[in-house]
A and B are shown apart, each in its own frame.
Chain A
Amino acid sequence: MEGSRMTPMDDPHPRQHVRGRSAASFPGTAVRAGTTRRLPLRFVAIALALIGLALAGAAAAQATCTTTLDYLTLSEFDSAMQPVIRAFEAQHPGVCVKMEGYSFGDLFQTTQVRMRARDTSIDVLLVDQPVVAAYTSLGYLSPLDGTFTDQQVAHTWVQPAVDAGKVNGHLMAAPQDSSIQLLYFNRKLFAEAGVAPPTGLVPGETVSYTDVAALAKQHRWTWEQVTAAAKRLTVRSGGATRTWGFTFGQPDELYQLQPLGLSLGGTLLSPDGTTVDGYLNGPAWRKAAVWYGDLFNGAKVSPKGVPYPQTADLFAEGKVALYAGGAWQLGKFKGSGVDFGIAPYPAFAGGTVATPTGGWYLGVAAYSKHKDEAAAFIRFLTAEQGAALWFASYGHFPPQQSVLDTIRSGKAYTVFPDDAYLLGVYQSRTTAVVRPKTPAYLQLHNIFDSAFSDIRNGADPGQALDGAVRQIDPYLKRFQ
């Protein structure tokens, strides 16, 4: 690619470099009024016009906000958050809230990328419960100490929820919501296959809290039962699978799968949090991983390569019979018309019952220029009217005592499908396990998810777990 090594200045025979054109064909000093001269100008003109358009558009969008808060959040929350935002903006005239939504996977990375760059444009951060400690140590969060009174901190939320938001005694993030997980089942598919469905909450019944507690204690399915039923419910034809027996809502995710190992008596980390060796790759997790891999590679009852949220779409479209997922999908399934019932989240036979929980927290971004307004929004959403509005709008299980009281006493929660929330109250009191609080959570969950993704794709479970342990331990040591 060196090309000619001689410059025009020291080449005595310039004509020889003109490929295929004689010097006479060049126009000399005459200006050619051809398209060649207009070409660059046309580009410039178009570019200028587009710049003008963009500026005009930006100006028009400014509206009447003196302060605009940028709320970095999940794109899924967008439409459901609007009622909350409207109520907040009505109470705080001049302050507008703009949601910047990302997918679940992208949100973590975007937060990292932009907060590491000390982006001042973000005001409110959506923080997954286990990474509150990590974000604090990374310096992303501004403490919320002045935003709530001691009374508020002590009595607004259930104790575990507020504890998870505290780091070294300071409230770094306030709980927006919690979550509960359920086993949804498609009644029509069960009937068609002639398989007995799990005992659970179905349309047309009225239940009380006692009924729900009894259901959870006595009629919980085991994961083994799930696999057995799923095998009979999976329908294959023409070389493709038409109906799947079972799927997790969030395959490979630590949030979804942590109860598997816990149910068999294992933990993720050592008690002092310094290592995963012997824990994540201990006998309990090995057994859990083998069961998990079998879903995709042995029994083949779960689809490979379908991530969240498409798994929920599958259930809503009636293409999967059993779905282990969040209560926040109730609205979607109700609206899709699928004939479903709700059963308690399974556990391994003979093991302890563990159910996923934990939700999203809100923090003030450390480099925000509108910290007071951001704190006001957070207080509104997590401790004031916003909490009830958010629950009504999105359906995430609430951590606020006031909203929990409405569930416990509300008539609406004695009938299907909202009686699932009664089940949630039982679960959050008795079986819920939070994710480990470690500053290396980002690395832990990333490597855990990769390992289980590999297991889903056919890797040997023991080797995948050993590999994960080898990758996680150095990070745990670095964060001590």
Chain B
Amino acid sequence: MTPAPRRLATLALAVLYAAVAAFFVVPLWWALVGSLTPLDDVFRHLAPFDLRALWPTHPTLAAYVALFRDHAFGRVLFNTAFVALATVAAGLVVNALAGFAFAVMAFRGKRVLFVAVLVSAMVPAEALAIPLYRVVGSLGMLDSYGALIAPAVSNGIAIFLFRQFFAEIPTEIMEAARIDGAGWVTILLRLYVPLSLPVTIAAGLLLFVFQWESFLWPLIAAHSPNVMVLQIALANLQQQHSTQWTQIFAASSLAALVPLMLLLPLQRYYVRGIVGSGVKG
């Protein structure tokens, strides 16, 4: 290749890389900047377009203050955190137990039950929200933390992750413990659990993100203000105050911050967990 076309190709490639990065970063950056900018300035830098739209001109926390003062965001954040953490706590226990049983123990119907677990994992929660609403309603649990937590605890993918992970651990150690007379609970707690940091993180993240991002289910099952979670509060904010761009930016930034802080550093475990369970082929 002669030098000129090569330089052109490199330039084109650089532009591509820059454009792609900008596409992914700019919207959230604009939202973050907008959340710290006075409302009028947000509009002023948009018409006509001004690069100052991407930098906080007169930084102010007014939008965040309004969120907590006028829109009960403190309560909303508490609800969201409580529900997510409770789901993770209960979910790790419940799904690890099942994953352990599938991986290590022998019992009749194991294959059938495991396939059933996998199939149930394939059905998306969104599709079941409407009939689930009737089920939970007849249990009298609507509009409560229970309505949000209980259906999310048993998770087929989490069971699958635990099962794959536990299945990799050599069985001689388990056999030896059995011969020594150890009970199953002891084996689980003292042999398997201490080794399970990667899968615990992966499954924990899975459960957390599932709960954090849930929308249709909380929309219909937990809409009253005292159990409202963040995604629904965001939707309400949009519907009732759609001109308050800075408040929407502030709420969005807050809502994006928590998972980002969790997922960016921990996504290796998450991916390793799912990829390492045989996806790659």
Contact, chains A and B (beta carbon distance below 8 A): yes
In the complex, whether B65 has a CB less than 8 A from a CB of chain A is: no
CA distance A39 to B189 in the complex (A): 13
Within 8 A of B (CB), among A23-47: 23, 26-29, 31-32, 34-37, 39-40, 43-44, 46-47
Residue B191 contacts which of A2, A19, A29, A118 (CB distance < 8 angstroms)?
A29
In the complex, whether B196 has a CB less than 8 A from a CB of chain A is: yes
- Residues in B with CB closer than 8 Å to A60 are none
Known: A7-B167, A103-B236. A40 touches B46 (CB 8 A): no
CA distance A47 to B85 in the complex (A): 6
A70's closest neighbor in chain B, by CB? B224
Within 8 A of A (CB), among B20-63: 43, 46-48
In the complex, whether B250 has a CB less than 8 A from a CB of chain A is: no
Known: A29-B191, A106-B239. A15 touches B81 (CB 8 A): no
Minimum CB–CB distance from B124 to chain A (whole Å) comes to: 15
Contact A43 B92 (CB under 8 A): yes
Contact B223 A106 (CB under 8 A): yes
Interface string of A94-132 (1 = CB under 8 A from B): 000000111101100010011001110100000000000
Interface string of A302-330 (1 = CB under 8 A from B): 00011101100110000000000000000
Contact A23 B240 (CB under 8 A): no
Known: A110-B223, A121-B143. A31 touches B194 (CB 8 A): yes
- Residues in A with CB closer than 8 Å to B85 are 43, 46-47, 50
In the complex, whether A14 has a CB less than 8 A from a CB of chain B is: yes
CA distance A54 to B182 in the complex (A): 39
Within 8 A of A (CB), among B173-197: 173, 176-177, 180, 182, 190-191, 193-197
- Residues in A with CB closer than 8 Å to B224 are 100
Known: A26-B173, A238-B47, A238-B48. A31 touches B190 (CB 8 A): yes
CA distance A44 to B88 in the complex (A): 9
Minimum CB–CB distance from B72 to chain A (whole Å) comes to: 11
Residue A39 contacts which of B200, B242, B276, B279 (CB distance < 8 angstroms)?
B200
Contact A309 B240 (CB under 8 A): yes
- Residues in B with CB closer than 8 Å to A309 are 240
CA distance A101 to B71 in the complex (A): 12
In the complex, whether A239 has a CB less than 8 A from a CB of chain B is: yes
Listed by A's residue number, 19 A-B pairs whose Cβ atoms lie within 8 Å are: A1-B279, A2-B278, A4-B164, A4-B278, A7-B103, A8-B169, A9-B106, A14-B171, A18-B168, A29-B176, A43-B88, A46-B85, A47-B90, A50-B85, A51-B86, A100-B225, A113-B133, A237-B47, A239-B47
Binding site for B on A (CB under 8 A): 1-4, 7-9, 14-15, 17-19, 23, 26-29, 31-32, 34-37, 39-40, 43-44, 46-47, 50-51, 54, 75, 100-103, 105-106, 110, 113-114, 117-119, 121, 237-240, 305-307, 309-310, 313-314
Binding site for A on B (CB under 8 A): 43, 46-48, 78, 81-82, 85-86, 88-90, 92-93, 103-104, 106, 110, 118, 133, 137, 142-143, 145, 160, 164, 167-173, 176-177, 180, 182, 190-191, 193-197, 200, 204, 220, 223-225, 236, 239-243, 276-279
Known: A3-B277, A240-B43. 6 other contacts (CB 8 A): A18-B169, A26-B173, A29-B177, A29-B182, A39-B200, A103-B236
